Structure 1
Amino acid sequence: MDPLEGETSSVSIEYEPVSVKDVLVEMKDTAELLIDLSYSAVLHRNADLAREVLRLEERMDVLKLRARMSLMMAVRKPADAEELAPVLGIVAAADEISDAAGDIAKIVLEEMGLPEAMRAALPEAAETLVRGVVDPDSVYADRTLQDIDLESETGVRVIALRRGDEWLLNPGPNTTVKSDDVALLRGPDPSIGDVCEVLTGDVYESPSVDDPGIPDLERAVDTIIHMKNLSELAVDLAYSSVLFDSAELAEEVRNLEVEVDAMQSRFEAWTLRAAADADDPVVLRGLIRLGTSTEAISDAAINISEGVLRDIDVHPVVQLAVQESDEIITRVEVAPGSDLDGIAVTGGVPDVESTMSVIAIRRPGEGWLLVTDADAELQGGDVLISKGTRTSAAAFEELAQVQP
């Protein structure tokens, strides 16, 4: 048996004076990458991606212990404990997301079975994410990401590199892609295959899709995909609530969690009905695991925003950690007459030259609009919560302002 498919390995960990902020940054980036990897592993039925999830899960266990040690050392008086208690909640939430992602990955590694309808949902479920080992003869090998300029040329982004046991979760322009690195790529399906072939030297094969032919099963799959999107959105909004100390956003996290719980109940009912029409009902076992784990991710979002919900001052180290993570969440107000005023947003993607995704809109007098699964048109005065890289965030903020 692959050791990664068994129990978590026991690694001796001793206290080291580390920056709590840096640990929280890595935990946040790791948690978000784990969600991406685990669902991609299931949708592609890719055991290699699933094993990367378990490697990252082990890394998260180490980060969790280091964060706890550092926080315990930081408490000197009761006031410190009160201020740092929500930070422990954020640490626990990242670990809960990690555990849920590991459970999702094991659907593939333990061959629980999953209906073909999951692969039929792939194009609308997530961006394509692939894993590849950098071939020494690749034109990308031993060059920096700035030199390769993948994102501008192809829309494909290197979201992480693994070099032996070392993870580079936030590769920047000066990061060098080395031979034999394990690269995780995310981007549009039409171009990611070509990039993967150039990177690895191997032929890229898109997953084939069969018609599942079971109406109730199709409804269950649609529900699980929607649950996944809402759970990811809950995590995004939870971090936003911390960054902006926003009780309104924290309440939206709570509302999303309630909605995902209700969908989980409907999903279980539909899955059981589908079992009556399935040739082999055991194939639905993985789908049930997927639903339970997805609901666990939305539960974890509540832990992230708990301090805000309980009106406890947000510790500055948390806000710094959210601001400095790989994919940042930003707040931008649309100025009337700016390039964003009147722009259409489809499924979170604004109709402008930008790679930022709009995840929520606060419109004066109307409250919050969650736009991941809805269309909208931006208006002057809208406050946008968006997600993307630092470079794209700076350009997006310029679009929201009236240029002289």
Structure 2
Amino acid sequence: MDPFEDEPSPVSIEYEPVSVKDVLVEMKDTAELLIDLSYSAVLHRNEDLAREVLRLERQMDVLEMRARMGLLMASRNPSDAEQLAPVLGIVAATGTISDAAGDIAKIVLEEMGLPEAMRAALPEAAGVLVRGVVDVDSPYADRTLEDVDLESETGVRVIALRRGGRQTTDEDWLLNPGPTTAIAAGDVAFLRGPDTAIEEVYETLTGEVYEIPEIETPDIDDLERAVDTIIHMKNLSELAIDLAYSSVLFDSEALAEEVRNLEVEVDAMQSRFEAWTLRAAGDAPDPVALRGLIRLGTSTEVISDAAIDLSEGVFRDIEVHPVVGMAVEESDEIITRIEVESGSDLDGTAITAGVPETEPTMSVIAIRRPDEGWLLVGDADAEIHGGDVLIAKGTRTAAGAFEELSETEA
């Protein structure tokens, strides 16, 4: 079976009045889902997930063209051109992320090969993400997410839904389904959650048995180092994208500088990754199976570079058009950068499952330490030290109060 045989012909696009803000929101949400799906497709060797990435990539091409048309129509004078130039950069960078995700998906569709060690390492890094078609007899069909209450009951979250038949070109992607979103029979649902719960939810949703792949890992030290490095590169690149959008929203040079720090770190890691991959080729039973791993490293570094392009307007001290701030603000939580002063209330505070033992609190997603580099907290436990730079996510009110805890009294 040709993995690309169901690709439709390119869609003809004509100018029509659109909200640039709405298009940018959809582009950002699509880019984030593309990254998620592409790495999960690699993890599970799942051609269906990989094809969904290519569907989304085609959707992104349409969004990118519509955004460019809208921005060109909105530019009426030199002042508009100056403010909208960084927005065009954001559109192009988001398209670059989409293309990189498509290249990752093609590792599966073109059967490039990946070492089994990749499958063993990614579950911890990416969590479990599955794709399933909602069965007409499913107890979840024709009910809202609030009614089903899936996340509270099981820890499994519906991160996206796709409506429309397999051959249709007018597909309805629901990228951020909320409590009032109804699940319909025939929907393609994307679920993320703990592996202990995903199996039962998948079977209830689709009426099919979920098969957990068996994994065997070869004992090759350099290969394990290469895989560990690519996982860390992936996580840092995703963090860089988050920070880049937030740097634009808040016009924050501090956040943009952290994006640059992350990009430098990913570049250095890619160099080490390539060296370990080449060394591993000498001991691997099938060196050709490492070809996909090399593609994965290259595409991950491209995503990291795109984060720099997203922040370009901030770096160049150009006042970005308000439509960008409106778009990012609508689609994302607040991300803030906090420097912890020695002797402050945060100094020595424990973090449990990513949440500091403080009131009020924020979810700490990363720590940059002067001597140790980046520590991705996520769901892990850690302790905050004086001198740490925290990247935290939460509400506006909590962000202000949390920052006060990082300061020593005058």
Normalised to the residue count of structure 1, the TM-score between the two structures is 0.88
Does 1:150 pair with 2:150?
A: yes
SS of the counterpart of 2:132? strand
**Pairwise CA distance, 1:314:** 2.5
Where does residue 275 of structure 1 map in the other structure? 281
Counterparts of 1:272-311 in structure 2 under 5 Å? 272-311=278-317
Higher mean displacement: 122-131 or 341-350: 341-350
- Tell me the amino acid that sits aligned with residue 48 of structure 1: D
- Whether 1:372 aligns to 2:405 is no
Separation (CA, whole Å) in 2 of partners of 1:232 and 1:343: 26
Question: How many residue pairs are counted as aligned between the two chains?
Answer: 394
- Report the equivalent of 1:242: 248
**In structure 1, how many angstroms separate the alpha carbons of the residues matched to 2:403 and 2:264?**
36
Cα offset for 1:210? 0.8
CA gap 1:386/1:5 in 2 versus in 1, 3 angstroms? farther
In angstroms, what is the RMSD of aligned CA positions?
Answer: 3.3
Query: Where does 1:2-401 land on structure 2 (aligned, <5 Å)?
Result: 2=2, 4=4, 9-164=9-164, 165-325=171-331, 327-331=332-336, 344-345=350-351, 348=354, 350=356, 357-360=363-366, 370-373=374-377, 376-377=382-383, 385-387=391-393, 393=395
Contact 1:133 1:180 in 2 (8 A): yes
Give CA deviations for 1:14-47 in whole Å, capped at 9, x if unaligned.
Answer: 0111111100000000000000000000011111
- Whichever residue aligns with residue 35 of structure 2, its letter is I
Q: Is the 8 A contact 2:133 2:187 kept in 1?
A: yes
CA contact (8 A) 2:368 2:375 kept: no
Task: Classify the secondary structure of the residue corresponding to 2:311.
Answer: helix
Q: Cα gap change, 1:383/1:211 in structure 2, threshold over 3 Å: closer, same or farther?
A: closer
Structure 2: gaps (5+ residues) = 165-170, 405-410
Q: Provide the C-alpha distance between the structure 1 equivalents of 2:387 and 2:278, rounded to a whole number of angstroms.
A: 47
Cα distance in 2 for residues equivalent to 1:171 and 1:359: 23
Instruction: State the distance in 1 between where 2:282 and 2:374 align.
Output: 36
TM-score by length of 2: 0.87
Equivalents in 2 of 1:349, 1:318: separation in Å? 30
Letter in 1 for 2:62: V
Q: Match of 2:57, as an amino acid?
A: E
Indicate how the Cα distance of structure 1 residues 112 and 368 shifts in structure 2: closer, same or farther if over 3 A, else same: closer
Q: CA deviation at 1:51?
A: 0.5
Distance (whole Å) between structure 2 residues aligned to residue 277 and residue 75 of structure 1: 58
Tell me, what secondary structure is at the counterpart of 1:54?
Answer: helix
Indicate how the Cα distance of structure 1 residues 381 and 153 shifts in structure 2: closer, same or farther if over 3 A, else same. farther
Separation (CA, whole Å) in 2 of partners of 1:6 and 1:297: 27
Q: Secondary structure at the match of 1:184?
A: strand
Cα distance, 1:271 vs structure 2 = 0.7
Residue by residue, what CA displacement relative to the aligned partner does 1:61-85 show, whole Å, maximum 9, x if unpaired?
A: 0000000000000100111111011
Alpha-carbon distance change, 396 to 203 in structure 1, aligned in 2, over 3 angstroms: farther
Structure 1 pair 302/81, CA: closer, same or farther in 2 (3 Å)? same
* Counterpart code for 2:334: I
Partner deviation per Cα, 1:173-222 (whole Å, 9 max, x = no partner): 10000001000011122112211111111111222221221111111101
**Contact 1:115/1:284, CA 8 A, preserved across alignment:** yes
Check the 8 A contact 1:40/1:49 in 2, yes or no.
Answer: yes
Conserved? CA contact 1:132–1:196, under 8 Å: yes
Displacement of 1:5 after TM fit? 6.3
State the AA in 2 paired with 1:117.
Answer: A
CA contact (8 A) 1:331 1:383 kept: no
Amino acid at match of 2:300: T
| Deviation, structure 1 residue 122 | 2.2
Q: Which amino acid aligns with 2:223?
A: L
Q: Separation in 2 of the partners of 1:72 and 1:30? A: 22
Structure 1: which 5+ runs fail to align? none
> Quick one: structure 1 residues 39 and 250, their matched pair in 2 at CA, closer, same or farther if it must change by over 3 Å?
same
SS in 2 for 1:324: helix
Compared CA separation, residues 147 and 333, structure 1 to 2 (3 A): farther
Judged with a 3 Å threshold, the aligned counterparts in structure 2 of structure 1 residues 40 and 22 are, in CA distance, closer, same or farther, namely: same
Deviations 1:77-102 (A, max 9, x none): 11111101111111111100000000
Give me the whole-angstrom Cα distance separating, in 2, the residues matched to 1:211 and 1:3: 27
